[in-house]
Structure 1
Amino acid sequence: MDELRSAMEEHMDQMSDLIQKLSFELQSGLRPALDNFIGFFHAIDWKEPWLMGLLGFHGLLLIITIFTRKRTNFQMFLFLFALAGVYFAEGINKILSKNWKKFATQNYFDPNGVFLSALWCGPLLVISMIILINTLFTLCYLVVRWKRAELRHRARLSQSKED
């Protein structure tokens, strides 16, 4: 009986420690993540021409995505283009890390590819998600149109059989 009691007390102590750790993490909230983001944001020289060009490229790609939302084939091309950009990001990071002195004032391209993931892959994945959601809406609309046409066809068939 004493063994059971000591095991229960030990378990309760472990649970108490876990609850205290969770409480501390919830109290700290998103502050550490926000501090890391702000540090990352301030470490970048946003006035560099190649960075402004990169942001302009992503802006242009987003505008093209929005204006061509009714052209499904072109959207699929953009979708594959964006995903190919994400796929080749590791190779792009290696090339840029070797040649950063030619176009940048500091080496942003670490071996883990954090910078390129945030500023290259992140926007491309957001654009890909927009295209995917648009495609799903288009498919839902087509299914509804198809079902309505099928119901109209069945109604005509049943009406012609009655006559």
Structure 2
Amino acid sequence: MEELKSTMEDHMNQMADLVEKFSAELRSGLRPAYDNFIGFFHAIDWKEPWLICLMLSHAALLLMTLISRRNINFQMYLFLLALAGVYLAERFNKFLAGNWKIFASQNYFDPHGLFLSVIWSGPLLVIAIIILVNTLFTLCQLIVRWKKAELRHRARLSHNKEE
């Protein structure tokens, strides 16, 4: 019995060590990502007029998306517009990398397009996801209304047959 108890304690200690190592890896794994984000955030001059305009245009597009949530046709145009913006981001990045001196104080446009992906494509993808979720909810509501109408129609038909 003591041998079993000793084996169980050893096993529990091994499990506790594994959990502790795993949680330490998770904590250290998130810290470099957080540090990179903070470095990225501080490297940008957020007072540049073109960045302010870009952020305001994203805010306006988001507001337009939320206000027009009941108009599915208009939402589809916004959805396609957002996805077209993401699709053209690489070409946009190349163009802006060649002409950054005209509008910016420093060259934010790296060859891999990280800056533009975060500042341009990220918000557009979030807006596209919001539109997609709204469309799915609207379709679910439409299916429920259609099914209720179908059941009412069947009930009327069976009621008419009884008479």
Query: The TM-score by the shorter chain falls in which range?
Result: 0.7 to 0.9
Give the Cα–Cα distance (whole angstroms) in 1 for the partners of residues 40 and 29 of structure 2: 19
* Count of paired positions: 146
* 2:58 partner SS: helix
Give the Cα–Cα distance (whole angstroms) in 2 for the partners of residues 79 and 136 of structure 1: 13
* 1:30 partner SS: helix
Farther off after superposition, 21-30 or 143-152: 21-30
Residue in 2 that maps onto 1:128: 128
Q: CA RMSD of the aligned region, Å?
A: 1.5
Residue in 1 that maps onto 2:115: 115
Residue in 1 that maps onto 2:88: 88
Q: How far apart are residue 26 of structure 1 and its match?
A: 2.2
Q: How far apart are residue 27 of structure 1 and its match?
A: 3.9
| TM-score calculated relative to the size of structure 2 | 0.86
Farther off after superposition, 139-148 or 23-32: 23-32
Residue in 2 that maps onto 1:100: 100
| TM-score calculated relative to the size of structure 1 | 0.86
Q: How does 1:141-156 map to 2 (within 5 A)?
A: 141-156=141-156
* 1:107 partner SS: coil
Residue in 2 that maps onto 1:13: none
Residue in 1 that maps onto 2:33: 33
Deviation per residue, 1:107-156 (Å, 9 max, x gap): 00000000000000000000000000000000000000000000000000
| 5+ long unaligned stretches in structure 1 | 1-17
Deviation per residue, 1:15-50 (Å, 9 max, x gap): xxx999755422414111111000000000000000
Q: How does 1:15-94 map to 2 (within 5 A)?
A: 22=22, 24-94=24-94
